[in-house]
Amino acid sequence: MKTEQPILITSIKAAADFSNSKNIFIGFDGNTCGNGVKALGVLNANTAQNEQTPVTTSGIALVLSGAAVSLGDKLQSNASGKAITFASGEANGYALDAATGADELIRVKLI
């Protein structure tokens, strides 16, 4: 079982419907984090639009992969808020687990 070690959790108003979106990167504006954009943190709960949602901003969080990822990879968000290997833009963390493809939960050390 993979575990999280959140150090700081804050809340933000969900600008979109995150009813089925737990474990993705979320932006400072309350929307899904964009491709290569710096994230506020990781969405901690499925949340309806305009509700306050918990966001892990520091520590180790579980994040859905957007593609294959190797252990130790520097990570960024893709357009869906999922973790992919860093290519350009802003990094959001480092992979503490490998993923063989999309939609796998991996531990990410947030930066």
pTM of the model: 0.96
Q: What is the 8-class DSSP label of residue 96?
A: S
pLDDT in tens, 23-72: 999 999 999 999 999 999 999 999 999 999 999 999 999 999 999 999 99
Q: Any idea which residue has 């089925």 for tokens?
A: 20
- Res 102: pLDDT: 99
Per domain, the residue ranges of the chain are: 5-61, 62-110
In single-letter form, the type of residue at position 102 comes to: A
18: left (phi over 0), alpha (psi -120 to 50) or beta: alpha
Q: Which residues pair with 105 in a beta bridge?
A: 64
Mean pLDDT, the chain, as a whole number? Answer: 98
Q: Is 111 helix (H, G, I), strand (E, B) or coil?
A: coil
Q: Does the pLDDT value for residue 80 go beyond 90?
A: yes
C-alpha dihedral sign at 84, 27, 5, 91: positive
Q: Is the pLDDT of residue 1 over 90?
A: no
